[in-house]
Amino acid sequence: MSLVVRNVHRADAGVVDALAGYGVATVHEAQGRKGLLASYMRPIYRPAAIAGSAVTCSVAPGDNWMIHVAVEQCKAGDVLVVAPTSPCEDGYFGDLLATSLKARGVRGLIIDAGVRDIAVLTDMGFPVWSKAVYAQGTVKETLGDVNLPLVCAGALIQPGDVIVADDDGVCVVRREEAAAVAAAAAKREANETDKRARFEAGELGLDIYGMRERLAEKGLKYVDDPPQ
Amino acid sequence: MSLVVRNVHRADAGVVDALAGYGVATVHEAQGRKGLLASYMRPIYRPAAIAGSAVTCSVAPGDNWMIHVAVEQCKAGDVLVVAPTSPCEDGYFGDLLATSLKARGVRGLIIDAGVRDIAVLTDMGFPVWSKAVYAQGTVKETLGDVNLPLVCAGALIQPGDVIVADDDGVCVVRREEAAAVAAAAAKREANETDKRARFEAGELGLDIYGMRERLAEKGLKYVDDPPQ
Amino acid sequence: MSLVVRNVHRADAGVVDALAGYGVATVHEAQGRKGLLASYMRPIYRPAAIAGSAVTCSVAPGDNWMIHVAVEQCKAGDVLVVAPTSPCEDGYFGDLLATSLKARGVRGLIIDAGVRDIAVLTDMGFPVWSKAVYAQGTVKETLGDVNLPLVCAGALIQPGDVIVADDDGVCVVRREEAAAVAAAAAKREANETDKRARFEAGELGLDIYGMRERLAEKGLKYVDDPPQ
Amino acid sequence: MSLVVRNVHRADAGVVDALAGYGVATVHEAQGRKGLLASYMRPIYRPAAIAGSAVTCSVAPGDNWMIHVAVEQCKAGDVLVVAPTSPCEDGYFGDLLATSLKARGVRGLIIDAGVRDIAVLTDMGFPVWSKAVYAQGTVKETLGDVNLPLVCAGALIQPGDVIVADDDGVCVVRREEAAAVAAAAAKREANETDKRARFEAGELGLDIYGMRERLAEKGLKYVDDPPQ
Amino acid sequence: MSLVVRNVHRADAGVVDALAGYGVATVHEAQGRKGLLASYMRPIYRPAAIAGSAVTCSVAPGDNWMIHVAVEQCKAGDVLVVAPTSPCEDGYFGDLLATSLKARGVRGLIIDAGVRDIAVLTDMGFPVWSKAVYAQGTVKETLGDVNLPLVCAGALIQPGDVIVADDDGVCVVRREEAAAVAAAAAKREANETDKRARFEAGELGLDIYGMRERLAEKGLKYVDDPPQ
Amino acid sequence: MSLVVRNVHRADAGVVDALAGYGVATVHEAQGRKGLLASYMRPIYRPAAIAGSAVTCSVAPGDNWMIHVAVEQCKAGDVLVVAPTSPCEDGYFGDLLATSLKARGVRGLIIDAGVRDIAVLTDMGFPVWSKAVYAQGTVKETLGDVNLPLVCAGALIQPGDVIVADDDGVCVVRREEAAAVAAAAAKREANETDKRARFEAGELGLDIYGMRERLAEKGLKYVDDPPQ
């Protein structure tokens, strides 16, 4: 049996937007270095930076039928997350589906498979993070699930989790942790602004972070290159 | 023995140009979802979109001698297709060969290997779809064939076949099927224009394509997320 | 024991700058087709073209502590070269370290691992050639070495060697060979300028390089495609 | 903070042993084609076939400290499941840890990273399914978690889930579904025994499964190769 | 439309068996270094060495329906060759299909995808060369073609071509060239027997093949390592 | 110019044989976790365990001519190490070259490329560690170097260094460090024998290595799974 779960709970819209502003690297650090999708998930154009609530969709290899089902479950501010049930690089998604999602206010697509029509998607400004760019067409024969938890590019994603994506890749934040992570990210960013000024002024990380003593304790030695 | 076949038959120029306009995804669908080269074939710059008649060239690993032989067989409107006889990422092709091909009116290069000088090629506007970018130089010691059928990035390509390439990758169309495929692509594109307007207006694929009944027959169920 | 070697010998600044002008493909050919790093080393933005003196830094997997140590050893005109002691794609390097290196006049980073904050690095104009883009954070627990020879992306790099990097990838030139290679590259480039003009005018490589006779000796045959 | 969860609930021992007997392919089918780990997870020797209750362990890249912590949580009939927090092929596990696990009655190791001492492990008869064989040593500096849910080779694994592994790879069965899956597998296997006899006798799948009519409806045509 | 071509022409049985005896490396050389499938095609057990006439079968990703159709077209002495229309590692083939093929006298399977039940296949002595071992199940929804030419693991295979496979991989020989290739292979092998005796006796390839003069002409120099 | 260096210095034969006995994992640890070749270097049969003095040989892609030159430089107790100047998986080496090396007392081959005739090599008992098994033939057109330092599978190898290879992969030990590494390995192994007995008796690594206190200091917490 295949299932579509309607009306999944989303995180607070203000929290989602705040997370978009911090970006993937900061959010990932702020939540304890977890939640990243695999490094092969790359954006089709740069720069691109979004955050949104996950609508999840599992699909059979070479079959994009369920994406049409998932579109109906998407609302403004969502991000569609698609994962095949076995590895596949086919082009499940193109400009027509993007037009449909954009009309609903969806912010982007995360797909552990292929995407096509990327020239048009780039012109439309509809961002996609994918495993591959590949024109291979798909069929509409087999069911999957919408809004059940799934593993996408090595990360567990639950419907309603917050997806943060930018030029560095994709990160997932649990819905119930989103507010706390946004607060931690804000703090981390404030701290970095201060550090950035000191680095720009020529200070060294060795001094800013007070590392010299611990390095020496661990056994670091300095020698000079002999004259030649 | 190595062979160069001269004066291979090309498709009608008008048909070739029409195929360029439809792009890889549409052409691939229009001919029954066949003809794509592997997804690792990527353009060195974007956007890029061409179509042309294939001049094929097999080369030994690390040896680009035969490309010079192939250049002479290229005419205006052609696309050069190069495949090594065993896997290789060396930089077989750079700005001098591109200058030579451009002077002959060749529209681009498809190479299941490496390319170099890509900054210059980008400035020149000479598009290349390749497996790798790699500066590794090659020698000129071993013969290959020009204008015999070959397998390039997993696809069979016959001299005179039409190559269509854009940001989505590369597709081959059999010369004798080119006119029919162009007609089918035109029809498909007309159909998509209509669909696009309906998607923009917010209609769902579920309704546009009338999918709801068949989904229900296959066993799709809808449930609501419980309140939390 | 971990070691930091200070004051390594660099190549002459004029020679380094000359090598930057020739680019990776020409330099690699000029020194006898050697010195390339693996083709998976790609720039985070294009175009980018630098040359500089290598400061080398080995790091433990998932641990970027030694990069802070290496920064102090970098001077204006240097390029930092980082390699993990076992394969790793973590994001060792981001915008704060880039700010620090830029403040010291460092020209770029070569890292056989991951990089993050690439949108900011692109805005800053700090070029990086890396194996991956990945936001995965790192710890600061384990020592490595600075300015010992290391293997980075399959190439041996000694501190003070000249690194040349552009859109085609990365090449290393031995410090003691740098002047000779620059001279050979100059000669090669002069030769190419002349050739380029002949190619633009429509001459063939077969004639420019006088290849026809040797091709025939090796057994190349020409036939015509039969009429259809 | 790092956490070790003690005394996780296991599935019934009889159910676990039954699942071992059915093997990965049958169990995966019996539970609706789900639960497989990535195809790169291969056994270090063949044949090997086990099932056991998962003790999960997350580790930092290049750091096997937490495996020692996890060993204490393992009981007879368990399978240890290890996943790094970022991709790593280091040799986290060798013959000493295997000796320790074997002494506790642990049935095998599933590790989304590297293993070493495989000649000794083979002689000992301690099976391991891993991403790589690699002697690269690890450190003991960073904490992880034991018996929290984790993603291993693309599959979500919860402590106490049943791991089934054989020459075909690795599959996870939810603890609460284990009995039902074992029953479904038994049914499937009985059905296959009957089918196998018919195939051996020369009957065709086309007839055993009654496929001919549906194939014709979908448009399958038969033609004869012309005489030559 | 999907097509099944019946009664394709096979090569002479004696020639096929002779090719089996020479093995992949010798046959590949004897036909001018062509015809190899990609190096990722590996046998599920070793040693294994077969030759047979190709029955070809294209399949949709994740759909093994057409293999049942292809089985009926197989005769004693054949080898079944399966390629998906887009890249896929699913386990299309297991012990039931192997039982069916074995009952018909088929000698093995070549599949550019995954296989499962390999422990049973090994016990049965039914050899398979595949891209992956993976238990992932498939569906039966989509048609493909039987006995049309296809590209499998990078090589063009026509129905009735001779497939030679052993521990070194897989090679295809055109049906119409099979007898000539077998003759060339016999000659090559006789020559190698003689060479092997000379190598065993300690003679060097440099002398057996008379290479020293040509090496010197190309510029090879000998120096002695200085005493230390 | 291409160079063959004769009479390179080897390590003491007794030291080499001692290193063979310790194996790759122990030797790699004993020398400070360095010297491993990439994990893709796998033996063609198992078990296999050797050590020997490196004779190094660089080859052009698809060209095995220099291996014949290198054979003459090999003596009893040596291991031949071959690396292509750009990545290549061709089958540079087969049973005739193995016969020649075996006649000279060479202990095995390490090749960052392909090998063929592996069924015969297995029967002969001539071990090879390679990147690929591939029957693709090579030519004899281009020179390389023998007994110059080279990078093989990511590791720097100097002629006369000691190569240790077994089921876990391949490790290089600098000639001048070989005796000290053998001594350190002996010590490490003695220590492991003692540990192994304690692990067999059921003691935990947590206690044998006294880890509990440091784990607690780092923040490790234990909780019990709640009843269900």
pLDDT in tens, F81-121: 999 999 999 999 999 999 999 999 999 999 999 999 999 99
C-alpha to C-alpha distances, B116 to A105, B98, B109, F10, F45, nearest whole angstrom: 42, 11, 12, 41, 39
Q: What is the mean pLDDT of residues B199-224?
A: 96
Rounded Cα distance, F75 and F67, in Å: 14
Neighbour-count burial of B67, counting CB atoms closer than 10 A to its CB (0-12 exposed, 13-18 middle, 19+ buried) = buried
From the candidates D2, D88, D92, D133, which should be mutated to test the interface with C, based on the most C CB atoms within 10 A? D88
Give pLDDT, residue D1. 74
Angle made by CA atoms F150, B112, F155, in degrees to the nearest 5: 15
Mean pLDDT (chain C, rounded): 97
Phi, psi values for residue D224, rounded to 5° = -105, 140
Q: What percent of chain B has pLDDT over 70?
A: 99
Enclosing H/E stretch for A129? strand A128-133
The tokens of F108 are what? 């095995």
Q: Strand pairing partners for F223?
A: D5
CB < 8 Å to F61, chain B: 61-62, 88, 90
- What's the distance, CA C174 to chain centroid? 13
A174–chain B nearest CA distance, Å: 15
Burial classification of residue A210, based on how many CB atoms lie within 10 Å of its CB (0-12 exposed, 13-18 middle, 19 or more buried): exposed
Q: For residues A120 and A118, give the distance between their C-alpha atoms in angstroms, rounded to a whole number.
A: 5
Could you report the per-residue pLDDT of F158-183, keeping only the tens digit for each?
999 999 999 999 999 999 999 999 99
Write the residue in A4, A103, A122 that is nearest to B222 by C-beta: A4
Nearest to D156 among A33, A39, A151 (CB): A151
Q: For E67-92, what is the mean pLDDT?
A: 98
Strands D128-133 and D108-115: parallel
Q: Rounded distance, CA F84 to CA F87, Å?
A: 6
Q: Work out the mean pLDDT of chain B and round it to a whole number.
A: 97
Q: What is the DSSP letter of E227?
A: P
Mutate to test the interface with E, among B86, B112, B145 (most CBs of E within 10 A): B86
Reported as a pLDDT band with limits 50, 70 and 90, residue A228 is low
Q: Is the pLDDT at C228 greater than 70, yes or no?
A: no
Cβ atoms A50, A20 nearer than 8 A? yes
**For residue B228, pLDDT beyond 90:** no
Asked if residue F47 has a cis previous peptide bond (ω within 30° of 0), the answer is yes
| pLDDT by 10-residue block (mean), chain D, 228 residues | 93 97 97 97 98 98 97 98 97 98 98 98 98 97 96 98 98 98 96 93 96 96 86
In this prediction, residue E227 carries a pLDDT of: 72
Q: How far is residue E192 from each of residues E42, E171, E196, E198, F69, measured CA to CA in Å?
A: 26, 20, 6, 10, 19
Q: How far is the C-alpha of A70 from the C-alpha of A48, rounded, in Å?
A: 23
List pLDDT tens digits, range A35-83. 999 999 999 999 999 999 999 999 999 999 999 999 999 999 999 999 9
Output the pLDDT for position F228.
60
Taking the C-alpha atoms of residue E92 and residue E128, their distance in angstroms, rounded to an integer, is 12
State residue F141's pLDDT score: 93
Radius of gyration of chain E (CA): 21
What pLDDT is attached to residue A226? 81
Average pLDDT over residues F56-65: 97
CA angle (E47, E50, E52) in 5-degree steps: 165
Token digits of residue C201? 């005018």
Taking the C-alpha atoms of residue F206 and residue F216, their distance in angstroms, rounded to an integer, is 12
Helix or strand (DSSP H, E) at D129:
strand D128-133
Average pLDDT, chain E: 97
Confidence at A227, pLDDT banded by 50, 70, 90? confident
Q: Would you state the pLDDT for residue B226?
A: 78
Of F60, F87, F88, the CB nearest to B139: F60
Residue C162, H or E segment = strand C162-166
Whole-number Cα distances in Å, C106 to C71, C127, E3: 9, 10, 63
Q: Using alpha carbons only, how large is chain F's radius of gyration in Å?
A: 21
CB C100 within 8 A of CB D129: no
User: Is C215 in contact with B133 (Cβ distance < 8 A)?
Assistant: no
b/e for C129-159, b at 16 or more Cβ within 10 A?
Answer: bbbbbbbbbbbbbbbbbbbbebbbbbbbbbb
B132 vs F contacts (CB less than 8 Å): none
From chain B, the residues in CB contact with C204 under 8 A are: 68, 71-72, 100
Which of chain F's residues have a Cβ under 8 Å away from the Cβ of E222? 3-4, 6
Contact yes or no for A164/A170 (Cβ under 8 A) = yes
Q: Are strands F162-166 and F169-173 parallel, antiparallel or unpaired?
A: antiparallel
To the nearest whole angstrom, how far is the Cα of B211 from the nearest Cα of chain A?
A: 9
- Please check the confidence at residue F196 and state whether its pLDDT lies above 70: yes
In whole angstroms, how far apart are CA D120 and each of A34, D101, F25? 35, 14, 11
**Contact present, B140 and B32 (Cβ < 8 Å):** no
List the one residue out of C106, C20, C94 whose CA is nearest residue C55: C106
Q: Which of A57, A67, A69, A73 to mutate to test the interface with B (most CBs of B within 10 A)?
A: A69
Angle, in degrees to the nearest 10, between helices F178-200 and F13-22: 30
Please tell me the distance from the alpha carbon of residue E128 to that of residue C128, in angstroms, as a whole number. 45
- pLDDT value at residue F117: 98
* Mean pLDDT, residues F198-216 taken together: 96
- Residues in D whose CB is inside 8 Å of some CB of E read 23-25, 28-29, 33, 36, 39, 42, 46-47, 49, 166-169, 171, 192, 195-196, 199-206, 209, 211, 215, 218-225, 228
Residues 6+ apart with CB under 8 A from E89: A86, A87, D39, E113, E114, E131, E132, E134, E136
pLDDT value of residue F1 = 74
Of F7, F30, F9, F34, which is closest to residue F18 (Cα–Cα)? F30
Round to whole Å and give the CA distance between A32 and A5: 30
Could you list the beta-strand ranges (E) of F32-77: 42-43, 50-59
The C-alpha of E90 sits at a distance from chain A's nearest C-alpha, in angstroms, of 7
Q: Do A103 and B199 touch (CB under 8 A)?
A: yes
Tokens of B117: 């000088």
**Å between A135 CA and nearest CA of chain B:** 5
* Contact of F15 with F182, CB cutoff 8 Å: yes
Q: Which tens digits make up the pLDDT trace of A82-114?
A: 999 999 999 999 999 999 999 999 999 999 999
Tokens of D148: 């929290």
Residues of C in contact with A220 (CB under 8 A): 2-4, 69, 143
What are E109's strand-pairing partners?
A: E80, E128
Select from D36, D209, D224 the Cβ nearest to the Cβ of E135. D36
Model ipTM value = 0.96
- Whether B200 sits inside 8 A of A99 (CB atoms) is yes
Interval E84-105 mean pLDDT:
97
As a whole number of angstroms, the distance between CA E99 and CA E102 comes to: 5
Q: Please state, for a pLDDT cut of 70, what percent of chain C lies above it.
A: 100
Here the tokens at position F139 are: 């030519």
Q: How many residues are present in chain A?
A: 228
The structure tokens listed for B140 are: 């000129």
CB contact under 8 A, B38 and E87: yes
All residues of chain F having their beta carbon less than 8 Å from the beta carbon of residue D2 are 218-221
Give the chain D residue whose CA is nearest to the CA of A154.
D154
